[in-house]
Amino acid sequence: MSDNLPEFTGYNFTFAFGALILCTLTMLIAVRMVCRAAMVKGRSRQKRLLFSACIAGNGVWATHFVAMLGCAHSLATTYQAPLTILSMFVAMGLFVPTWWSECQTPNRSLSPRTALLMTVAVGGMHYIGIAAMTGAAQESIPPFRIILSLAVGFVFFYAGTLLLRQQHGRRRSLAAIVWVLGVCSLHFMGMPHSSLTHQAMSGMPQHIASLSLAGMVGAGASIFLALASIFLLLEYQSAKRKIEDSTRARNFADAALEGLVVTTGSVILDANSAFWNLAGTKSKSTYQLKTFFPVLTAEDILQKLIKEETPREIQMIRHDGERIPVEIYARESSWRGKPRTILAIIDLRARKETEATIKELAITDMLTGIGNRSFFVASLTDLLQDKTRNNPVVVFLVDIDRFKNINETCGHAMGDKVLSHIAKRLQILVPQDAIMARIAGDEFAVACVLSPDDVTDFASYLALELKIPLPDGHDELPVSVSVGFAVSDDDMQDGGQLLHCSGIALLAAKQSGRGNVREYDSSFDSAIQDRIRLEREIQRGIERDEFFLEYQPIMSTHDRSLVGYEALVRWQHPERGRVPPDQFIGIAEECGLIAQLGEWVVRRACRDAASWQNGLNVSVNVSPIQFTTSDLPEVIKSALDDSGLTSNRLSIEITESTFLIGNQIIDILKRLRALGVGIVMDDFGTGYSSLSHLRNFQFDKVKIDRSFIWDMIKRPHAAAIVDVILFLGRRLGVDIVAEGIETSEQLAYLQERSCSLVQGYFIGRPSQTIAEKPREEVLESPVPA
């Protein structure tokens, strides 16, 4: 049995310790390089594997001969050069398929292929090296011990391979330690008896080329040190590149305008400077995600954000406790080799302020600083629907008498001063909770809750207190006002209806003379009777084909060519003559005829456009009522099919008030967009203007209301609004259409600011026959430099 065990009598274990250190370094380097090679592909992987095989083979070969130095008489031992060199190349050559096999094997695999190849590589190198000593040395090792050494080595190699596949990061170094045990166990269990080796070598033929053991150890160690030095240099360069990449990534993240956060879902692991500035603190401390975003952890919103891949607006709590609105995006990504959640946080404060400013501008009369008609009607409707009030709502309409004469006699500047003065006086006279607005050129409206006993006295009080001399000493034209008012009943819910009633009362007051006060009374409401007649006549006009379309050209400012036309409905009444649209459109909407009239307009416009030889587009105005009283997408589809007009030549124009209908408006617009029809926002800036409309739906064009165009040359406030809308259009990639162009000055102003499209009387008046080009004055006027 003793013959089957290695003999260590006289063995110097100092060399064994040196061999252990050398083998450990070899396997640690090999593990590192194999892991790196698995992360790349192609020629880069081949180079890494070849270099790793050289280090591993040479290191194991040098380990073998360092260990052999510990044997008795080792320094006197010589080795056959061919077999010794062969053992080195066997080790290095067999480690190439070994590492290639490991790179191709998936993680968690139980395949023993790599361990078998390592056993062949190490065992082949070892026993060829033993054979290089002398043929008798090989015979001194019992076959059982050879098989046992290979089996034990395989067990350790297989255990190390499994560790390499199942561990991550630095824990993979455990595989190198186990492989070292495999190399050492195979070597020492396969060691020949020193006495037999020495006896065999004494009879070795002297003519065979031989190498001394010390020389081989020196050569092997030198080669290993050279390869290890190259490895360390490569590792240094890799670490340097990693630091540079990390620095570059950090600088890139810090350059981002939005805040970027890396989190595990509960702890903030890293963030860029934009986030820390937004949070109002520094990055030196560790923070929980709920510190800044409690809503993300309270309602499991974070997982919903990741799943839906859509942003959400939430409140962020800054370090000082301030709550600010932010828009947050979330997605799963890899960070430093591990799956993490990446958050992008956008500060919405500037956007909210801009939106509030535009909204304020949209509901404010620019001259007087009080509300406009849209604001008044919406606020009045809310007040009427308030069930907590104890008294009725009263609307007072105040109209300046002979205001046209003031403008003509003293100039429009004086007229503006009168309007501003009246607005300031009203703010003093009315209750603090009253709603006040300028709803027309020289008409002001006041709504408040009053006792029925005080209504008439308050109306007379307003008429008396607003009878003032003209500002700047123009006593020859004293200012007086007429007042009409209407009191709500218990069932009234619509602010527009109450305002309409007060308008009838104002008309009665003005008809009876200047400076009068009248309350709404249906007994003298001849306008109501005329309205009823007009409703019947609209219905008959549709049936008798009394309506027709005129087309106003739309011009591109880039080359002053026509790009399309806006279809405008007209009514030729057999008795009333030509009825202006503002006298029948509103009535058609209120009496439910607008859907029928609107469908006729769409069908006629499509049929006419299909016959145009120039192939230009046509746009049609659509009332908000049509979205609720008809299946608008189906109506438009039918009109396109019947006329043969391609859908991309048709656009529909909607006003901002359309969005007051409800959330279903977006779905209808998407159905229209699916047909290929263009969507245009009309009269932007005069209704319930909100950036959320432009955010929630991508319009093809946005039209600036003509009131801003008329005032922009002389009114800085109007010009500022026009500039803001043009800037907004450029940033959103939306064409802006300016309507109401009546002078070359207006056209030049818009061209200088890159307004895409224009229309108006200066470009071309509406006509039943389409124009082929803009008016000559437009074509001949110089283009701004």
Angstrom distance (rounded) from CA 500 to CA 397: 10
**CB of 183 closer than 8 Å to CB of 125:** no
Query: What value does the CA radius of gyration of the chain take, rounded to a whole number of Å?
Result: 46
Residue 383 contacts residue 390 (beta carbons within 8 Å): no
Place of tokens 């890494």: 48
Distance CA 292, CA 623 (A): 45
For residues 379 and 434, what is the distance between their CA atoms, to the nearest angstrom? 10
Which residue in 739, 745, 772, 780 is the catalytic one? 739
Q: Give every CB contact of residue 447 below 8 A, 6+ residues apart in sequence.
A: 376, 379, 380, 383, 393, 394, 395, 396, 434, 435, 436, 495, 498
Place of tokens 């050129």: 441
Beta bridge partners of 571: 547, 579
The residue type of 79 is: Y
Q: What ranges in 442-592 are assigned the alpha helix state H? A: 455-465, 495-511, 526-543, 581-591
What is the 3-state secondary structure of 97-138?
HHHHHHHHCCCCCCCCHHHHHHHHHHHHHHHHHHHHHCHHHH
Q: What is the side-by-side order of every strand in the sheet holding 481-487? A: 435-438, 443-449, 393-400, 481-487, 517-519
Q: Which amino acid is at 437?
A: A
Q: Where are the alpha helices (DSSP H) in 39-80?
A: 43-68
- Phi, psi (rounded to 5 degrees) for 210: -135, 160
CA-based nearest residue to 352, from 328, 323, 324, 320: 324
Is 299 one of the catalytic residues?
A: no
Catalytic residue positions, numbered: 739
